[in-house]
């Protein structure tokens, strides 16, 4: 129960509903998803055998605009996880005032066990399965765990072939050559960087002198590691699915990124100054800023008491459970919630979508300037409510995001 992400998402709605006295009818509505589709994905494998995978697409709320949310390929994906991730996307888009709703998708598959051709067939068949549920005016997918620009290209192509014309606005996170945006790859890491910088300023501490620990060394973890490393922060530990590396003097992040970009695991990196640690050791390592950037449910009531940092910057979606949140709040640890901290990804996805629709592309300077403006505005909104009400940053962010959705429901009314 504690670890079912959709139960957690519903619990978070209850916490906010109580805090702001939300209309019980709206509370009831927000705890349901608008649409959920399960598709079977039959694939002829390279050896001629048939395997059937299960895929999902969920729209939690489109009350403020078309759905927006990534697609995840993982053997752990299930409907409740996708529902939770779609719900969190609703809050994220609302918090940033983007005219988009919350959606998410996933396929229950371990993509590392598939050849490139199998992965392409899986992606094209999954896209065909959900084709009536996506589109620039309906719901716009993007990359998430274990999906990337190549997979977005196959989705865009499959959708376009079915429509008989090129429709770049159907997905974001595409390569630049087919309508992608500059700055999308780095966007989530860049967003985390702007937010932690702003938080350090509020706490009157200097970002350069912070010690950092990062779980996950993929798109999000890798980018934030690189940005903080360049800024001069000491990155004490990083991890991937294979385990983590620790060095009290600070890891050489540029070298580790070169290593993992070749598809190699951190645990196999050879440097005798570095100590191998497990992912659970990593989470309780003493540092100033802990950045969970891998997956959900990493900080739970089991390890929350042993977390030894000043700030948790949530790069992943849902890395902290509500029980852990309560403990961390009592311990005085500032948790910068996912819906604010990692919202850089959806923000630049929104820019990509706007650029595709207008067929006019921006430069990196404009992307990063607009990203910073939107994120810092959201950060200041959250910080103000947090100070006024003396609540957690998460509850403050939820109050803003949920209130906007509730207002939209109220204005539109319930059809018919
Ligand atoms: P990714 O696939 O690029 O990287 C995931 C990283 O986590 C890898 O280093 C992987 O080895 C590691 N990992 C996987 N399972 C693990 C485990 N059990 N223990 C420890 N490490 C593990 O994915 P990503 O795009 O970086 O996404 C990471 C998280 O950030 C997810 O929660 C995702 O929803 C969230 N997120 C991503 C974006 C984005 O733009 N990519 C935006 C917002 C939020």
Report helix, strand or coil for 409: helix
- The finding on whether 145 has its CB within 6 A of some atom of ligand 1 is yes
Query: In terms of C-beta density within 10 A (0-12 exposed, 13-18 middle, 19 or more buried), how is residue 281 classed?
Result: middle
The answer, yes or no, to whether any atom of ligand 1 lies below 6 A from the CB of 298, is no
Tell the residue number behind the tokens 């003097």, with chain if given: 249
Ligand 1 center to 119 CA (angstroms)? 19
The residue whose C-alpha atom lies closest to atom 15 belonging to ligand 1 is 241
**In the prediction, which pLDDT does 3 show?**
82
pLDDT, position 395: 96
Residue 2: the pLDDT is 58
Element (H, E) at 239: strand 234-240
pLDDT at 288: 98
Q: Tell me which H or E stretch contains 265.
A: none
Q: What percent of the chain has pLDDT over 90?
A: 99
Where helices occur in 37-138 by DSSP H, the ranges are 79-95, 116-129
* CA-based nearest residue to 151, from 183, 84, 105, 191: 105
163 has catalytic annotation: no
Q: Name 250's Cβ contacts closer than 8 Å, sequence gap at least 6.
A: 234, 235, 236
Distance CA(184)–CA(235), nearest Å, equals: 24
Measured distance CA(392)–CA(320) in Å, rounded: 13
Cα 185 to averaged position of ligand 1 atoms, centre (Å): 13
Give the nearest ligand 1 atom to 184 CA. 40
pLDDT per residue over 288-305, tens digit each?
A: 999 999 999 999 999 999
Q: Tell me what pLDDT residue 46 has.
A: 98
Write the pLDDT tens digit of every residue in 1-36: 558 999 999 999 999 999 999 999 999 999 999 999
Of 264, 261, 266, 262, nearest in space to 279 by CA: 266
* Cα 415 to averaged position of ligand 1 atoms, centre (Å): 38
Which amino acid residue places its CA nearest to atom 35 of ligand 1?
A: 316
Confirm or reject: Cβ of 169 under 6 Å from ligand 1: no
pTM (predicted TM-score): 0.95
Q: Is the CB of 352 under 6 A from ligand 1?
A: no
C-alpha 24 – ligand 1 centre gap (Å): 35
**Model confidence over 194-245: pLDDT tens digits?**
999 999 999 999 999 999 999 999 999 999 999 999 999 999 999 999 999 9
Closest CA to ligand 1's atom 17? 241
Over residues 176-185, the pLDDT tens digits come to: 999 999 999 9
For 65-104, the pLDDT digits (tens) are: 999 999 999 999 999 999 999 999 999 999 999 999 999 9
The protein residue whose alpha carbon is closest to atom 42 in ligand 1 is: 345
Question: In whole angstroms, what is the distance from residue 87 CA to residue 33 CA?
Answer: 8
**Is the distance from the beta carbon of residue 65 to the nearest atom of ligand 1 less than 6 Å?**
no
**Nearest alpha carbon to residue 299 among 266, 329, 341, 344:** 329
As a whole number of Å, the CA-based R_g of the chain is 20
What average pLDDT does the chain have?
97
Q: Which residue minimizes the CA distance to atom 4 of ligand 1?
A: 218
What DSSP line would sit under 169-234, residue for residue? GG-SS--GGGT--TTTTTHHHHHHHHHHHHHHHHTT--GGG-EEEEE--SHHHHHHHHHHHHHT-E
pLDDT digits (tens, 9 = 90+) for 358-406: 999 999 999 999 999 999 999 999 999 999 999 999 999 999 999 999 9
Ligand 1 pocket mutation, candidates 71, 88, 217, 240, criterion most atoms within 8 A of CB: 240
pLDDT greater than 90 at residue 253: yes
């Amino acid at each position: 129960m504690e670890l079912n992400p959709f139960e957690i998402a519903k619990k978070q709605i209850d916490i906010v509903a109580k805090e702001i006295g939300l209309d019980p009818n709206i509370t009831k509505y927000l705890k349901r998803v608008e649409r959920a589709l399960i598709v079977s994905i039959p694939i002829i494998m390279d050896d001629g055998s048939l395997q059937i995978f299960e895929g999902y697409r969920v729209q939690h709320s489109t009350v403020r605009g078309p759905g927006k949310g990534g697609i995840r390929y993982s053997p752990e994906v299930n409907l409740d996880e996708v529902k939770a991730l779609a719900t969190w996307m609703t809050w994220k888009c609302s918090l940033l005032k983007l005219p988009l709703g919350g959606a998410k998708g996933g396929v229950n598959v371990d993509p590392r066990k598939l050849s490139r051709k199998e992965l392409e067939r899986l992606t094209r068949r999954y896209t065909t399965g959900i084709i009536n549920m996506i589109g620039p005016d309906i719901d716009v997918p993007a990359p998430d765990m274990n999906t990337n620009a190549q997979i977005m290209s196959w989705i865009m192509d499959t959708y376009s072939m079915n429509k008989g014309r090129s429709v770049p606005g159907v997905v974001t996170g595409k390569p630049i050559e087919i309508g992608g945006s500059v700055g999308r790859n780095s966007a989530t890491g860049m967003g985390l960087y702007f937010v932690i910088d702003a938080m350090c300023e509020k706490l009157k501490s200097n970002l350069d002198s912070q010690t950092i620990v990062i779980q996950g060394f993929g798109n999000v973890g890798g980018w934030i590691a690189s940005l903080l490393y360049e800024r001069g922060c000491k990155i004490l530990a990083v991890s991937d699915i294979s385990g983590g590396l620790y060095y009290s003097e600070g890891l050489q992040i540029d070298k580790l990124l070169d290593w993992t970009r070749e598809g190699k695991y951190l645990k196999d990196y050879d440097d005798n100054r570095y100590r191998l640690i497990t992912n659970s050791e990593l989470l309780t390592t003493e540092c100033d800023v802990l950045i969970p950037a891998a997956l959900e449910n990493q900080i739970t009531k089991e390890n929350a008491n042993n977390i030894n940092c000043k700030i948790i910057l949530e790069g992943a979606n849902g890395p902290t459970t509500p029980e852990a949140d309560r403990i961390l709040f009592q311990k005085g640890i500032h948790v910068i919630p996912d819906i604010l901290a990692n919202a850089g990804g959806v923000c630049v996805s929104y820019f990509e979508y706007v650029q595709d629709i207008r067929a006019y592309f921006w430069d990196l300077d404009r992307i990063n300037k607009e990203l910073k403006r939107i994120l810092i505005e959201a950060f200041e909104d959250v910080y103000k409510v947090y100070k006024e009400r003396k609540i957690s940053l998460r509850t403050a962010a939820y109050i803003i995001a949920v209130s906007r959705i509730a207002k939209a429901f109220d204005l539109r009314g319930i059809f018919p």
